[in-house]
Amino acid sequence: MRKLTMMILIFAVVLTSVATSSARPRATRNRASGANAPMAKATVKITSFKFEPKVLTVAPGTTVEWVNDGGRHSVVADVAGSFKSEALKQGDKFEHKFDKAGKYPYYCEFHGEKGGKDMAGTIIVRK
The per-residue pLDDT for range 21-50, each reduced to its tens digit, is 333 333 333 333 334 554 589 999 999 899
Please tell me the distance from the alpha carbon of residue 84 to that of residue 88, in angstroms, as a whole number. Answer: 11
Q: Are 41 and 65 in contact (CB under 8 A)?
A: yes
57 inside domain:
yes
Closest CA to 27 of 18, 17, 35: 35
Distances (CA, A) of 43 to 31, 59, 80, 82: 24, 13, 22, 18
In a domain, 27, yes or no: no
Report pLDDT for 17.
42
- Judge whether 25 lies within some domain: no
pLDDT tens figures, 75-118: 999 999 999 999 999 999 999 999 999 999 999 999 999 999 99
CA distances to 16, 28, 64, 110 from 20, rounded to whole Å, are 6, 18, 20, 30
Whether residue 1 is contained in a domain is answered as no
> Domain of 86?
39-127
Query: How far, in Å, CA of 46 to CA of 71, rounded?
Result: 9
